[in-house]
Structure 1
């Protein structure tokens, strides 16, 4: 028996959520901030790219055909990060996560053997986070997707403790996928907002989880970091050195590298065979999962080929291709 090939990083676009926020006070300001962070050229290119891939983002038949062409058996589908809307007030935020959870579940239900889903929680309203997670799980989703921070709150904020506790208790997957970078206009050219901003945000968010002791307090958390965890895994030696050298860096019980191998998971989307081998070296093959960022242009059209190019051992290749993810998602090994 062989495990299915599982892509844990794939997205769905939800027009229902877009209709909820259209014209609402605060939406225009959020769009203006996004425009400043990305720059006009990036917005133009991204708009055309999304339009070209709209059917892949919304239509299950086209999604399954693309999966078949790439040799992917199962996708873990999460809402486009553009649906976070962390600017929204309490009532609108509730409508956003309820709609996103329900709509993602309905999308995945059209191909139940091939698609599993993730919902959303409103990081800007920690008091709703547990309820949003329970709603997602109740809809049949495998967990939730979150960004690297909310306005004025890092993931180390004590207000999130009930959320982490509930996620650990339920075994929910928490998919950490940044949207936007607080370096703002410094990255507004050459698509630096994504190529530099996303891995930066990943590293900062993961460092908050590690150094604050969140993973010590909730060791059963199942956090999956997009984009290979950004810069943190390849620079984990510097984090370890700080932990050993400075008392103010010892917020966690063990050196930071410990948590990469025991508490966190990472997708394989690093765009470089050598970097992927390094990620496997520091985190272990049982902590790396296949990821493509389907169907966006910053993803991998053939994630299995990208994994194969890293020249890992057969056992490591198959664990990353789907063995570990199948266990996380409780998939049948012989479908």
Structure 2
């Protein structure tokens, strides 16, 4: 590891068989799986099973993970549970059990190489009154924060006032909040050609971030350390339309400043699959707000995150910032 400038991947996942075993067969689990199957469509499901199966060792075995990181030239990963572990269908008792188990299992995985693996936990966003307690539990395990989806069942958006205590505690504690959608509310319109992911994920990112911006959440909690997966989806490259609405529409003015200004308060991973889109993300958000991300080890990620970053032909200072400098600061990693 380069002691002065580690390469840090902030978008990497772990699979937790303990969580799957805990929820298997519980009321609501089968229904959630059926909904996910409908949203993805049969062709996608036929691909997903073998794809995940081939990657199980990298998702569960720290030694295999570290060897893969070495091959990629990655020194440090920020490891988050697979979004398939959200289980936002769960009742309060089940949610209490599985989020604690997920936090503890993620911390145990990372403890195999504490200098190279740092973790994020989970919180039951379907039960806002439990979110602060779940965040505290994650931090108590030595995790750096938690991973959240773009919304919770019942159309509970991230702008819901019920989340205010959660945002306040996350801000106060300095916890990392990794916004990573799972599923898409556009439903069966996207059940062909893997549109549930290729269109659905960036759409969900854009909607969730827009709720946080337009509702004033980021005005009330300017110190939130919020990291958006997939480069923030469609929002950063189409932020001009949001700014225009804010200027001309009274119903779009619940935030204090133009929406584009909030991009410089957020953080984004670099996983946009296009060097020109990455350059635009850096232009609108700032080179200090973009962090290297690979979606390790899934097929919709990149096997060569550094190669993808080099393809953007950034100035050297910007390249080094995205490669690891920004993550070192955000995650408060030691440089020695």
Question: What's the TM-score, normalizing by structure 1?
Answer: 0.99
Question: Which residues of 2 match residues 291-302 of structure 1 at below 5 A?
Answer: 291-302=293-304
1:330 shift after superposition: 1.4
- Selected match of 1:236 from 234, 239, 248: 239
- Selected match of 1:160 from 163, 166, 170: 163
- Selected match of 2:260 from 252, 257, 276: 257
1:329 shift after superposition: 1.3
- Selected match of 2:105 from 103, 106, 116: 103
SS of 2:124's equivalent? coil
Alignment-derived partner of residue 328 in structure 2: 326
Q: 2: CA distance between counterparts of 1:44 and 1:12?
A: 22
| In the alignment, structure 1 residue 91 sits paired with structure 2 residue 98 | no
Alignment-derived partner of residue 195 in structure 1: 198
Question: Which residues of 2 match residues 104-183 of structure 1 at below 5 A?
Answer: 104-152=106-154, 153-183=156-186
Alignment-derived partner of residue 216 in structure 2: 213
SS of 1:159's equivalent? helix
Q: 1: CA distance between counterparts of 2:223 and 2:5?
A: 23
1:24 shift after superposition: 0.4
Aligned residues: CA RMSD: 0.6
1:114 shift after superposition: 0.4
| In the alignment, structure 1 residue 279 sits paired with structure 2 residue 281 | yes
1:331 shift after superposition: 1.2
- Selected match of 1:204 from 187, 204, 207: 207
Q: 1: CA distance between counterparts of 2:186 and 2:237?
A: 21
Alignment-derived partner of residue 311 in structure 1: 313
Question: What's the TM-score, normalizing by structure 2?
Answer: 0.98
How many positions carry a matched residue from both structures?
333
Alignment-derived partner of residue 248 in structure 1: 251
Q: 1: CA distance between counterparts of 2:145 and 2:261?
A: 24
- Selected match of 1:288 from 290, 301, 315: 290
Structure 1, unpaired ranges of 5+: none
1:284 shift after superposition: 0.3
Alignment-derived partner of residue 11 in structure 1: 13
SS of 1:97's equivalent? helix
Q: 2: CA distance between counterparts of 1:265 and 1:124?
A: 24
SS of 2:9's equivalent? strand
SS of 1:88's equivalent? coil
Structure 2, unpaired ranges of 5+: none
- Listed one character per residue, the Cα deviations across residues 194-218 of structure 1 (whole Å, up to 9, x for unaligned) are 0000000000000000000000000
- Listed one character per residue, the Cα deviations across residues 43-68 of structure 1 (whole Å, up to 9, x for unaligned) are 11011100000000000000000000
SS of 1:123's equivalent? coil
Misfit runs of 4+, over 3 Å = none
Alignment-derived partner of residue 80 in structure 1: 82
- Listed one character per residue, the Cα deviations across residues 180-207 of structure 1 (whole Å, up to 9, x for unaligned) are 0011100001000000000000000000
1:2 shift after superposition: 2.6
- Listed one character per residue, the Cα deviations across residues 104-159 of structure 1 (whole Å, up to 9, x for unaligned) are 00000000010000000000000000000000000000000000000120000000
